[in-house]
Structure 1
Amino acid sequence: MPDRADVDAAHARIRPWIRRTPVIAVGEEVSGVAAPVLLKLDLMQRTGSFKARGAFSALLAAPVPDAGVVAASGGNHGAAVAYAAMRLGHPAAIFVPETAPQVKVDRLTRCNAAVHRVGRVYADAFAAALEHQAQTGARLLHAYDDPQIIAGQGTAAAEFADQAVNVEGFGGLDTVLVAVGGGGLLGGVIAALAGQGVRIVAVESVGAPTLARALAAGHPVEVDVHGLAADSLGARRIGDHGFALAQAHLHASLLVEDDEIREAQRRLWQELRLVAEPGGAVALAALTSGRYQTGATERVGVILCGGNTDPATLSS
């Protein structure tokens, strides 16, 4: 399983290719809680989500064949792989479900990727990507269960912890809230912060409870996926690496409803003019909904992990 040394090695590889995204301290009008809250704005990362970190980490960690790379994605991973491949000079084939938002598909085509729309859910796209790999010899980049991908995603948390030390009124983090789909970001956050005295809280949409179901069963299980955040948090099974890290180090696992995610999106837009996709607002929704109760002086960090949505869907 990836650990902090792997995260640091990934950070050294990808630093020239990614953004060190900013942090911002927010009050109760955004977070819904009186405790200090610090947001990590990884929705401002290249391609609009944290996924660029993992894509560059994996592509720079090992040789890429002449056939290039292939990935399956609800949109964000595909965009990250397509962008990283373009910057590094590799061809890319990206398989997405037919339900992938057009804003995400458009980003893929701008990165010169060959885009294939297959099936209704991520699992259908992944099966097609595996077939493409077998036929062409392209390198498959798994969206969330590849150690190099996970280590790359963990660089967001490593940056966050470093930045929080220098924010007035914080001086560090007690708790980090992180959204969960397939578990790549969660695994990376745990790899970066485990053993450093930071509580890690996983937050999922009720429509895609891969981690919650796996924790209840004691092992990863298949779940039906639906709801507002399914395009970005729509994995049907938690990754083995992310699950193992969660079992060992997770502080809590929470579920939020679609209307609570919408409210978190609305607050980010109305108060900060930040465009967050539903999956990108899931972690904040744990605070705005009251599902995570903070201590009076608890220093809480929230990773806003994606902003690939149509701003017209947000109320003004």
Structure 2
Amino acid sequence: MHQLTYGDIKAAADRISGHIRPVSLTPVDRGAIRTAHRDPLDDTPDQPCEVWFALEFMQHTGSFKARGAQNFLQAHREAATLPDAGVTIASGGNAGLACAWAARQQGVRATVFLPATAPEVKVAKLRGYGADVRLIGTEYAEALAACEEFAAASGALASHAYDHPLIAAGAGTLLDEIHQRIPGLDTVVVAVGGGGLFAGVATAARHHGIRTVAVEPENSRALNAALEAGRPVDVPVSSVAADSLGARRVSATALDVARQEDVRSVLVPDTEIIRARRTLWDHRRIAVEHGAATALAGLLAADHGYRPGHGEKVCVVLCGANTDPGDLVGPAE
């Protein structure tokens, strides 16, 4: 296992500079997020937490995945290890989109394996990027097995949706940008699937003395289960956010990072994820996918979430918006 370092993230930032969009940030209305209960004997003035949204769904391809894909292919271009057969990846959708986009920029072919259950909006966008799209099985793990067979047979360069140091390091560049823009940041909140975004962000966050809150759906809890077991383990996947947070097993790198004391693991039910997604639409007209809303659910969930302290400065990463917004315009769930 490669030990992810802050140096890896700095190298990624240099490599992808000028090729990705810097993150946009916006403050949340004061008092919109509840803070932790106070000690009744605490007589210091009440100070609500300060919360920001990182609008990373505005990134190329509609998610943070563009950072890792760009870093992965740029590094292989520099090392002259991009084969004629191109690149291949298995994905729930977003990593495939990012890989296809970056491959097109590099002038190489991309063959993307997705579960047949992938949202049509992601499949259509993939084909728009010129990717050879292959729909296999009903879970990410099945698409991954087919991708590995294809790479071995064709000689294509195998990328990964999350379990690769170049992918995680690229994702970690997001936190450095947030830190530069929000001085004194205390906590960053991210959704977790396979752990690429989490591993990169938490590694950079630790360097800056920032806490990371890792939020997962209750029924898609690969990181939380690995922390309980002390090793990566397979988990059942059944969540409204499974198209982007549907990894059956978290990466060993993510588990290693999650064992640090500045990381908090939080689980939220699908009902809270749906509510958070609808809240973003109702109050901000932001249409994100359920995976992105999972991070916000970690702050909004009444009995399950993370409660910031008084005066705490928090940033919630809204990581992707490759979704059909049609279910947001009718009556609330």
Report the TM-score range of the alignment, normalised by the length of the smaller protein. over 0.9
Cross-structure match for 1:159:
177
Runs of 4+ in 1 over 2 A off after TM superposition: 28-34, 248-251
SS of residue paired to 1:194:
helix
Aligned to 1:234, which of 246, 249, 265? 246
Cross-structure match for 2:43:
none
Cross-structure match for 2:161:
143
**Is 2:220 aligned against 1:223?**
no
TM-score by length of 1: 0.95
Change (3 A) 1:273 1:30: farther
**Is 2:193 aligned against 1:181?**
yes
How far off its partner does 1:220 sit? Answer: 0.4
Cross-structure match for 2:101:
83
Cross-structure match for 1:6:
8
Contact 1:4/1:193 (8 A) holds in 2: no
**Is 2:318 aligned against 1:300?**
no
Contact 1:202/1:250 (8 A) holds in 2: no
Change (3 A) 1:264 1:30: farther
Contact 1:133/1:139 (8 A) holds in 2: yes
Aligned to 2:295, which of 261, 283, 302? 283
Unaligned residue ranges in structure 2 (runs of 5+) = 36-47
CA distance in 1, matches of 2:156, 2:262: 35
Change (3 A) 1:253 1:217: same
CA RMSD, Structure 1 to Structure 2 (Å): 1.3
Give the number of the structure whose alpha-carbon radius of gyration is greater. 2
What does 1:70-109 correspond to in 2, within 5 Å? 70-109=88-127
Aligned residues: 310
Aligned to 2:19, which of 4, 14, 17? 17
**Is 2:59 aligned against 1:59?**
no
TM-score by length of 2: 0.91
Describe the superposition over 1:241-266 as per-residue Cα deviations: whole angstroms up to 9, x where unpaired: 11111113542100011110111111
Describe the superposition over 1:82-107 as per-residue Cα deviations: whole angstroms up to 9, x where unpaired: 01101111100000000000001011
Describe the superposition over 1:107-133 as per-residue Cα deviations: whole angstroms up to 9, x where unpaired: 100000000000000000000000100
**Counterpart amino acid of residue 57 in structure 2:** L
Instruction: Report the more deviating stretch, 111-120 or 242-251.
Output: 242-251
CA distance in 1, matches of 2:66, 2:194: 16
CA distance in 2, matches of 1:310, 1:155: 28
Describe the superposition over 1:201-243 as per-residue Cα deviations: whole angstroms up to 9, x where unpaired: 1100112100110000000000010110000000000011111
